[in-house]
Amino acid sequence: AAEFKRPARTRRIAVANQKGGVGKTSTAVNVAAAFAQTGMNVLVVDMDPQGNASTALGAKHNSGDPSVYDVIEGRATIADVMQTCPDYETLHVVPASIDLSGADLELADMPDRNNLMRHALDDFLADSDVHYDYVLVDCPPSLGLLVINAMCAVSEMLIPIQAEYYALEGLGQLINTIGLVQSNFNPELLVSTMLVTMFDRRTLLSREVYEEVKSHYPSIVLDTTIPRTVKISEAPSFAQTVVTYDPRGMGAIAYREAALEINNRSAVVLETIASRRNEE
């Protein structure tokens, strides 16, 4: 079995890309499951009103159920609303439901509106009996206030990039937004990881996209790519991650490999974040 060493401090990672359908949610839940499978303590925060991460992790998230919406609006704590994933004792989920769909507008008038999630997460991690190794925030496909809240609450960004035409289109805008958050609200924020998803190694296009991303962001993009496989898209309909649904399949293998690569970078990443913090 692969060697997973616990990171020295909690790694807080937002999975973001304003494009829809690039593999954000699949990446968040499968990387989280791969970590949890090794016994690490993992919290997934679903910040997408679609609630796809909640579905994949088997969390109840009907309209009216306690959710991340209550946390952001200050009516509940993370501990109040979080659920344990039925498949993994050490994987906890803050669910999202359609109730969150108005939040971007509602937040606009709130004082300190960018830092609502950061405060909730800081308080939770400080008070929790459990030491969390990873917090993964699954973002909606936008660059609105929910995503800004996610960017302010974490220290790392994981950007999934779909291997397709125009893969890099919109990436500049995302990087710009991250830069703005960095200079205005969260100086330690680091784009630590890019992951090429829906990779088809039989096509020249997939390989070209990978090489292009790699040439722009050589130290950020993972060596591991996630293959296009129907098992990854089937798993959520069984309220499962592909790591549980098809553990020996190439989707699960790739996501475990990606998780290992992310984990192997812990020391370097945490050091970079700490040095940014000290520069403040």
- Min dist. Cβ of residue 234 to ligand ADP (A): 8
Q: How many residues bind Mg ion (CB under 5 A)?
A: 3
Of 117-125, 147-155, 206-214, 229-237, which part binds ligand ADP (CB under 6 A)? Answer: 229-237
What does the buried/exposed string (b/e) look like for 44-77 if buried means 16 or more CB atoms within 10 Å of the residue's CB? bbbbbbbbbbbbbbbbebeeebbbbbbbbeeebe
Q: What is the DSSP string of 39-60?
A: T--EEEEE--TT-HHHHHTT--
| Closest among 152, 159, 156 to 181, alpha carbons compared | 152
Binding mask 12-51 for Mg ion (x = CB under 5 A): ------------xx--------------------------
Amino acid at 63: S
Binding window for ligand ADP (CB under 6 A); candidates: 19-27, 73-81, 94-102, 129-137: 19-27
Alpha-carbon span 103 to 116, nearest angstrom: 12
Residue 17, both tokens? 């890309």
Task: State yes or no: residue 184 binds ligand ADP (CB under 6 A).
Answer: no
Q: Which does 225 bind (CB under 5 to 8 A by kind): ligand ADP, Mg ion, none?
A: none
In the list 81, 226, 258, 262, the residue contacting ligand ADP (rule: CB under 6 A) is 226
Task: Using the CB atoms, write b or e for 213-244: b if 16+ within 10 Å.
Answer: bbeebeebbbebbbbbbeebeebbeebbbbbb
- The position carrying tokens 């300190």 is 112
Q: Report the residue from 14, 16, 22, 252 that binds ligand ADP according to the rule CB under 6 A.
A: 22
Stretch that binds ligand ADP, among 31-39, 118-126, 221-229, 263-271 (CB under 6 A): 221-229
Candidate list 10, 41, 52, 186; residue touching ligand ADP; CB under 6 A: 52
Q: Which of 117, 103, 96, 19 shows the shortest CA–CA distance to 50? A: 96
Q: Which one, 25 or 224, has the nearer CB to Mg ion?
A: 25
Residue (of 111, 137, 113, 143) closest to 125 by Cα position: 137
Q: How far apart are CA 72 and CA 108, in angstroms?
A: 12
Which residue in 5, 21, 184, 238 binds ligand ADP (CB under 6 A)?
21
Residue from 7, 23, 51, 58 binding ligand ADP (CB under 6 A)? 23
Q: Which does 23 bind (CB under 5 to 8 A by kind): ligand ADP, Mg ion, none?
A: ligand ADP
Interacting residue ranges for Mg ion, rule: CB under 5 A: 24-25, 52
Interacting residue ranges for ligand ADP, rule: CB under 6 A: 20-26, 52, 141, 197-198, 226, 228-229, 232-233
